[in-house]
């Protein structure tokens, strides 16, 4: 048993293009439908190829996408070694975007897997969460989506008032009961018949979204009280600026915190590390942050960082020190607070997860994608 089957797959909603080879041998091509029957035929084909090559090892890889990890689960349950690769970590030239085909994408994945299997190259694989973590993520992500919907409806109402020249009464707090009563009482004579009908529709939409938001908040609170998250969530909420939503977004999106070795990996995973463009003697070319990884975590970290200002003397002093160097570095100062908070949350959450035994031992996957 000297060789193994190596297969790279370009996965789509309805189709799968597989390029596979026996070790260093010439690659072969075959397409399958992305259905239960098609995936079964693909697995059987790979197993038959392994039997013909007198090997038990099959290494399969595809890029992470919105299709989730269903294929990963099926392959692993069939005894096939599967890796989900981070698209952002796959090396591609500018020419690739102009000559992109499914076959070239599958070839690229096959080449990366060959380099890993045959030469020990680092594999840009993402950490694949277990089924429980995937379901928990959906609950928390739904809360974030509904919260954004509430904000968008409020913005549309405000824009409508501006367009109609209607001004809120002075001394009335926005979105208070008094403000909502005033909005509901605006007549067609004040706004115009069409605008009044649109405002009534937006107010109904806002009421629905806010009720849905309360429901999703209850779901998140119930999830946070479960044994899997209770201890870590409680410890994270002891940090200034961290509320229940920030803690739960961090825990569900980051998953097993023991898979990160140091703060540099935390910054890189969350996209809070600066971009770099170094060449020759220019060895210190740093740009904006990469913004790779979970934008959801960055959003709640940004909100938490702003909550720290004026309430945490240490972080307020750090923000002021960066701003003194250059008043235009407001975003840089905010990102610095976000990164510092993320590292503290990692230390606290990792210790709580370790004491509670929330996750299995970390896999060998590189922490380079969500």
**pLDDT above 80: residue 280:** no
Q: What is the DSSP letter of 88?
A: G
Give the other-Cβ count within 10 Å of 245's Cβ: 19
| Three-class SS state of 76 | helix
The more confident residue out of 171 and 30 is 30
pLDDT in tens, 35-67: 999 999 999 999 999 999 999 999 999 999 999
Tell me which residue of 219, 200, 96 sits closest to 146, measured CA to CA: 219
Give the model confidence (pLDDT) of 65-96 as tens digits. 999 999 999 999 999 999 999 998 888 777 77
* pTM (predicted TM-score): 0.88
Q: What is the C-alpha to C-alpha distance for residues 10 and 41, in angstroms, rounded to an integer?
A: 16
* Closest to 74 measured CA to CA, from 44, 102, 31: 44
- The yes-or-no verdict on residue 1 having pLDDT over 50 is no
275 — pLDDT class (breaks 50, 70, 90): confident
Nearest CA to 226 out of 258, 252, 254 is that of 252
* pLDDT the model gives residue 222: 97
Give the separation between CA 63 and CA 10, rounded to whole angstroms. 7
Find, among 358, 367, 265, 254, the residue nearest to 301 by Cα: 254
Mean pLDDT computed over 267-271: 92
Residue 107 belongs to what H/E stretch? helix 102-119
Are 345 and 299 in contact by the 8 Å Cβ rule? The answer is no
Question: Beta strands 5-11 and 286-289: pairing type?
Answer: unpaired
* Greater pLDDT, 332 or 361: 332
Q: Where is pLDDT greater, at 61 or 311? A: 61
- The confidence score (pLDDT) of residue 291 equals 87
Name the residue ranges covered by the structural domains of the chain.
5-119, 131-224, 230-278+287-356
Residues whose CB is less than 8 angstroms from the CB of residue 232 and which lie 6 or more positions away in sequence, other chains included: 247, 251, 348, 349, 352, 353, 356, 358
Find tokens 């023991």 and name the residue: 258
* 305: helix, strand or coil: helix
The DSSP-derived string for 211-267 is HHHHHHHHHHHHHHTSHHHHHHHHHHTTSTT--HHHHHHHHHHH--GGG--SHHHHH
| Per-residue pLDDT tens digits for 147-199 | 999 999 999 999 999 999 888 888 889 999 999 999 999 888 888 889 999 99
Say how far apart CA 133 and CA 254 lie, in whole Å. 10
With bands split at pLDDT 50, 70 and 90, how would you rate the model's confidence at 285?
low
Q: Is the pLDDT of residue 324 over 90?
A: no
Tell the CATH superfamily of the 5-119 domain.
ATPase, nucleotide binding domain (3.30.420.40)
Task: Please state whether 294 falls in left (phi above 0), alpha (psi between -120 and 50) or beta.
Answer: beta
Question: What is the pLDDT of the chain when averaged over all its residues?
Answer: 90
Q: Rounded to whole angstroms, how far apart are CA atoms 7 and 1?
A: 17
pLDDT value at 365 more than 70: no
The two structure tokens encoding residue 66: 């919105």
């Amino acid at each position: 048993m000297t060789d193994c089957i190596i297969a790279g797959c370009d996965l789509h909603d309805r189709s799968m293009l597989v390029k596979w080879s026996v070790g260093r041998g010439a690659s072969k091509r075959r397409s399958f439908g992305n259905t239960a029957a098609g995936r079964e035929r693909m697995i059987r084909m790979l197993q038959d190829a392994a039997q013909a090559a007198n090997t038990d090892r099959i290494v399969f890889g595809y890029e992470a996408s919105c299709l989730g990890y269903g294929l990963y689960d099926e392959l692993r349950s069939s005894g096939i070694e599967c890796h989900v690769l981070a698209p952002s970590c796959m090396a591609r030239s500018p020419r690739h975007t102009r000559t992109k085909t499914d076959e070239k994408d599958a070839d690229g994945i096959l080449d990366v897997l060959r380099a890993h299997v045959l030469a020990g190259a680092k594999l840009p694989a993402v950490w694949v969460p277990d089924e429980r973590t995937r379901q928990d993520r959906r609950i928390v992500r739904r809360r974030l989506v509904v919260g954004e919907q509430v904000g968008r409806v409020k913005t549309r109402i405000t824009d409508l008032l501006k367009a109609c020249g209607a001004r809120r009464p002075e001394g009335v707090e926005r979105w208070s009961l008094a403000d909502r009563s005033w909005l509901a009482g605006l007549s067609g004579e004040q706004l115009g018949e069409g605008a009044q009908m649109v405002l009534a529709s937006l107010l109904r939409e806002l009421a629905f979204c806010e009720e849905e938001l309360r429901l999703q908040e209850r779901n998140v609170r119930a999830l946070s009280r479960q044994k899997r998250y209770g201890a870590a969530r409680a410890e994270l909420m002891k940090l200034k600026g961290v509320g229940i939503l920030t803690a739960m977004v961090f825990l569900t999106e980051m998953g097993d915190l023991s898979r990160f070795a140091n703060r540099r990996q935390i910054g890189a995973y969350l996209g809070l590390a600066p971009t770099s463009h170094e060449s020759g003697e220019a060895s210190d070319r740093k740009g904006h942050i990469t913004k790779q990884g979970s934008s959801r975590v960055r959003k709640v970290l940004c909100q938490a960082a702003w909550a720290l200002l004026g309430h945490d003397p240490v972080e307020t002093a750090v923000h002021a020190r960066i701003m003194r160097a250059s008043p235009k570095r407001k975003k840089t100062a905010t990102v610095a607070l976000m990164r510092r908070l993320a590292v503290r949350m990692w230390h606290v959450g990792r210790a709580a997860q370790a004491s509670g035994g929330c996750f299995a031992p970390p896999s060998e996957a590189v922490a380079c994608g969500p």
